[in-house]
Amino acid sequence: MSAHAETRRLTAPDIRARKNGEPIVSLTAYHTHTARLVDAVCDVILVGDSLGMVMHGLESTVPVTLDMMILQGLAVMRGSRHALVAIDMPFGSYEASREDAFRNSARVMKETGCGAIKLEGGRRMADTIRFLVERGIPVMAHIGLTPQSINVLGGFRAQGREEADWAAIEDDARAVAEAGAFAMVIEAVAEPLARKITAEVACPTIGIGASAACDGQVLVLEDMLGLTPRVPKFVKRYGDLGPGIAAAVEAYARDVRSRTFPGPDNVYAMKKPAG
């Protein structure tokens, strides 16, 4: 039996069962080759709509389309064998009605083979989350800073830094957990509030700019590898690959211009005559 056949991919129930257990390791991926690299250590690979900013240079995630998410989701599924792959539902694909949300979520899961979808919003999306879960679609929720709502929020601003704002965010967390989300991302929320929510809700919390007390963490891969020029405060850079890539490209350009590349080892010689 092949190694691939022996590998069991993690599922939404597996991740849900990690509440108060071993922390959940999650990173984004948008390509087959990066998915293959992170799959070795991650429990969840998130195909985030952040690909609009990271891959396409967009100012926000709002212009990202369903087709873009499906295309990159397929690439990530090809490169992974172990991690649960969750795919973001882009802006406009799930808000209008529960039926729209189901139709588009089902399309994503059928065309990519992913194990879950993720959508943004708290109380306002609880009914939709319940509708999807009851119809066989595992949902990861996303509360706190919700990037698709940037035009309403007025920018990428941390949430819950004043106690007067806590109750609404706690209500969001309870609502999505009670609706059946198997996990929730808590983004850019004041540390004491993220810690409190984690202690209160039944499903795992996955922090990004939240608290080490969360049941897991997620970062955008390119951010933590030093491939993006500007990153939020909550990103810790575990690598600095940008300068290394730039240096390699410069060395290649020098070799091409000096005609030292390709060298003898990089070209094909004529075959020797037979006999």
- Residue 226, domain member (yes or no): yes
Residues 240-267 pLDDT 10s: 999 999 999 999 999 999 999 999 999 9
**120 known member of a binding site:** yes
- Residue 266, domain member (yes or no): no
**93 known member of a binding site:** no
- Residue 267, domain member (yes or no): no
Q: Identify which has the larger pLDDT, 51 or 7.
A: 51
**196 known member of a binding site:** no
CB atoms within 10 A of CB 208: 27
- Please give the positions annotated as active site: 187
Nearest by Cα to 66 from 74, 54, 77, 57: 74
Instruction: Give exposure, 233-254, as e/b (b: 16+ Cβ within 10 Å).
Output: eebeeeeeeeeeeeeeeeeeee
- Residue 7, domain member (yes or no): no
Cis peptide before 262 (omega within 30 of 0): yes
What proportions of the chain, in percent to the nearest 5, are helix, strand and coil?
A: 45, 15, 40
Residues 78-88 pLDDT 10s: 999 999 999 99
Write down the mean pLDDT value for the chain.
94
Strands 116-120 and 205-208: unpaired
Count of domains for the chain: 1
- How far apart CA 117 and CA 125 sit, in angstroms, is 14
- Residue 223, domain member (yes or no): yes
**118 known member of a binding site:** yes
Query: Where residue 87 sits, what CATH number does that domain have?
Result: 3.20.20.60
Question: In the prediction, which pLDDT does 34 show?
Answer: 97
- pLDDT beyond 60 at 124: yes
- Residue 101, domain member (yes or no): yes
- Residue 270, domain member (yes or no): no
Q: Looking at residues 220-237, what average pLDDT do you find?
A: 92
**43 known member of a binding site:** no
Largest CA distance in the chain: 89
- Residue 269, domain member (yes or no): no
CB of 117 closer than 8 Å to CB of 108: yes
Range of the domain at 148: 12-258
Question: In the prediction, which pLDDT does 153 show?
Answer: 67
- pLDDT beyond 70 at 155: no
